[in-house]
Structure 1
């Protein structure tokens, strides 16, 4: 094959692959990060993922230099009625034309073993890895004072008229 045909074939192949890697269909809205305090060893990030595309996608990982370990987490209620935080290895699905909310008390990006304190008003850089859209780096503002209800309804379970709060950054 001539060098010109090789270049044309490679260009055509890359153009066919572009829609599967395009970040343009995935949007991140209302992102913020927080830690329980200045000496906290863990923090979390919350945001809305919108998929404007025609194909389902999935957030499968997150990476950042702000912590030794970054994982996708959620909260689940045990048989004893206790909320437990756990890693979601399969990631979070985002349906075509739909959205997935990462919020306190639910799905979130977890930072464990912070390399430095989260300072209110600063920004952290996080690379989100999607199954089809690929990698997307977002700068997320640190907001240590944000109301857990975010100005809207809090989605959680109440027992006996009280919602138990603890010092973790995701409640």
Structure 2
């Protein structure tokens, strides 16, 4: 193999592996390249792709904003609460949830740009909000310890220290 070919494979190895995997799976299963399966994969990957697209610009500008996940969680919690508990129609709840995400993003951006806060410090206005929402949920109000272990339905010693 020539050095040029080795360089090409080293730079495009992930793409080659993806193509090989897609060909192998399409030969092994007739459902793999079906329209319904491709739509299902696209729907499942949409949120991650949108967040990754935004994070790409953050990384390119030499900033690592750690609040993206928290803002996405806050928007999701807002949408779920407004569309189920408060009974708002889902289109209105979606618009409000998007507005909450935009406001949090702008607040974080203002702190980073004008407050000279480093982006890696995880700006506080929206990073703490999903944690604060646990305190306002009806289930958390009945619990002696609103913070629960992510893998268990019962409070853990790490997340609910004795007082």
Measured against the shorter chain, the TM-score band is under 0.3
Name whichever structure is richer in helix by fraction. 2
More strand by share: 1
User: Rg larger in 1 or in 2?
Assistant: 2
- The structure showing larger relative contact order (alpha-carbon pairs under 8 Å, at least 6 residues apart) is 1
TM-score (norm 2): 0.27
TM-score, normalisation: structure 1 = 0.26
